[in-house]
């Protein structure tokens, strides 16, 4: 039996049954800057394409985390305030 992926890792698994049998499914939970979580689930014909997509999602998440971790400037804060 397969194990569950840790939080924030996502998963890349081969579909075993049904119409999509033999294809690869990527599932990932992406958290927005406002805290809203969105589940992304896509199917790819090859494992290489699926893993590349999963890596790109992880890199985007890391870039977002780095951006949120640094201190915001007064200009960025004012822009955010005007938008919200």
What digits encode the pLDDT tens for the residues 25-56?
999 887 766 777 888 889 999 999 999 988 88
Instruction: Give the total number of structural domains in the chain.
Output: 1
What pLDDT does residue 19 have? Answer: 92
55 part of a folded domain? yes
When computed from its CA atoms, the radius of gyration of the chain, rounded to whole angstroms, is 17
What is the share, in percent, of the chain residues with pLDDT greater than 90? Answer: 26
Its sign, for the CA torsion 6, 9, 13, 19, is positive
In a domain, 2, yes or no: no
pLDDT for residue 15 is more than 70: yes
**pLDDT score recorded for residue 65:** 57
Q: Is residue 5 part of a domain?
A: no
Asked whether residue 21 is assigned to any structural domain, the reply reads yes
Average pLDDT over residues 72-78: 79
Average pLDDT, the chain: 80
Domain range holding 46?
A: 11-83
- Is residue 31 one of the residues assigned to a domain? yes
């Amino acid at each position: 039996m397969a194990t569950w992926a840790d939080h924030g890792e996502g998963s890349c698994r081969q579909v075993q049954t049904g119409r999509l049998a033999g294809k690869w499914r990527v599932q990932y939970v992406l958290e927005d800057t406002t805290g809203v979580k969105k589940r992304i689930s896509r199917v790819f014909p090859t494992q290489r394409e699926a893993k590349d997509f999963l890596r790109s999602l992880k890199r985007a998440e890391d870039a977002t985390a780095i951006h949120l971790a640094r201190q915001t400037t007064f200009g960025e804060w004012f822009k955010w305030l005007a938008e919200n």
